[in-house]
């Protein structure tokens, strides 16, 4: 089997069969990361530029580890210390990379839509590793995999996404993907952080998190994105933590089997208390672990290996 899409730019483009294929492939490849020697020759000889034009730690490292575990050659490209800092346009940089015959291009960019533009200009597949406030499709896929591993289903689950919905590409991709797969999604946060018209995606908007915590099977907390001036959308961090933070007090109202997620990096004591982030309901580090597996699956499938039987 192979994906129905050439690029991964948005989770909107994925069919349910695509999602099933990606997650099944990720599950098959996940075992590699548990071996003493975490490397197989599946993508030997493949070249994968990782073009991160915005700061990133876990996503960049996750893609690099994923590529190396499949024996591909990842090439790190950033905004600093390259031709962009000398005045070259992004398009020229990418066209020059294309001339070196990469197999997949991974792009993160602070401006929404940039991976879509690049996909029109290059001949190889493009993976959106996060564009502005638009989407973060690989994060949504790894979140879906993590929920499935714990809850064994998506259909009918109540998922509460709490925090800066307005500036969160993670929230946008998760809303689209989770509703597509049958979950009932609730979004909660300060009114200034809820985008107008978000209901069109089939979600329920809640301004008081106390209304949504008791019914949620999954609570996904979002980071205050200070680099996108989120902090100007509420009076103070102390007030935000009081009314919209997840802590041991409001967790008393949660279901006994609720799971807590966070895409990271975590602002401890603001959107989530340390004892909750590290508590028994937290599956935050499982998200990180599954990120490598999902990105291995995507690189494998988008390098055209999906029609072959996995050999490792």
Residues 110 and 53: beta-carbon distance below 8 Å: yes
- Among the options 7, 46, 109, 136, which is catalytic? 136
- Among the options 86, 120, 252, 311, which is catalytic? 86
- Among the options 47, 59, 138, 146, which is catalytic? 59
Verify whether residue 59 is a known catalytic residue: yes
Verify whether residue 111 is a known catalytic residue: no
Verify whether residue 136 is a known catalytic residue: yes
Verify whether residue 153 is a known catalytic residue: no
- Among the options 46, 108, 180, 186, which is catalytic? 108
What distance in Å separates the CA atoms of residue 183 and residue 199, rounded to the nearest whole number? 15
Residues 150 and 257: beta-carbon distance below 8 Å: no
CA atoms within 13 A of residue 69's CA, in its CB half-sphere: 26
Whether omega for the bond prior to residue 210 falls within 30 degrees of 0, making it cis, is no
Burial class (CB in 10 A: 0-12, 13-18, 19+), 105: buried
Verify whether residue 268 is a known catalytic residue: no
Point out which residues pair with 160 in neighbouring strands: 186, 219
Alpha-carbon separation of residue 262 from 29, 179, 197, 272 (angstroms): 24, 18, 24, 9
Where b means 16+ CB within 10 Å and e means fewer, 125-144 reads bbbbbbbbbbbbbbbbbbbb
Indicate which residues carry an active-site annotation: 58-59, 86, 108, 136
């Amino acid at each position: 089997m192979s994906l129905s899409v050439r690029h991964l730019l948005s989770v909107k483009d994925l069919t349910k069969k695509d999602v099933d294929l990606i997650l099944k492939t990720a599950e098959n490849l996940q075992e590699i990361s548990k071996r003493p020697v975490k490397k197989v020759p599946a993508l030997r000889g493949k070249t994968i530029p990782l073009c991160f034009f915005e700061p990133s730690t876990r996503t960049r490292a996750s893609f690099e580890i994923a590529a190396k575990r499949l024996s591909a050659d990842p090439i790190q490209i950033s905004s600093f210390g390259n031709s962009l800092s000398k005045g070259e346009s992004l398009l020229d940089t990418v066209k020059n990379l294309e001339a070196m015959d990469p197999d997949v291009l991974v792009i993160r960019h602070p401006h929404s839509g940039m991976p879509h533009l690049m996909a029109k200009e290059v001949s190889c597949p493009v993976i959106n590793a996060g564009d502005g406030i638009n989407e973060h499709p690989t994060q949504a896929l790894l979140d879906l995999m993590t929920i499935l591993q714990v809850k064994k289903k998506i259909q009918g689950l109540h998922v509460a996404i709490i925090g800066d919905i307005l500036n969160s590409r993670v929230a946008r991709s998760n809303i689209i993907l989770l509703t597509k797969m049958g979950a009932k999604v609730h979004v909660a946060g300060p009114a200034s952080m809820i985008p107008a018209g978000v209901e069109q995606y089939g979600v329920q908007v809640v301004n008081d998190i106390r209304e949504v915590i008791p019914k949620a099977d999954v609570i996904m907390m979002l980071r205050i994105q200070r680099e996108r001036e989120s902090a100007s959308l509420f009076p103070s961090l102390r007030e935000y933590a009081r009314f919209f933070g997840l802590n041991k007090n409001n967790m008393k109202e949660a279901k006994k089997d609720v799971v807590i997620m966070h895409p990271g990096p975590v602002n401890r004591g603001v959107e989530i208390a340390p004892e909750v982030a590290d508590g028994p309901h937290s599956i935050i580090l499982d998200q990180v672990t599954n990120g490598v597996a999902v990105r291995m699956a995507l690189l494998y499938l988008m390098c055209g290996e999906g029609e072959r039987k996995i050999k490792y």
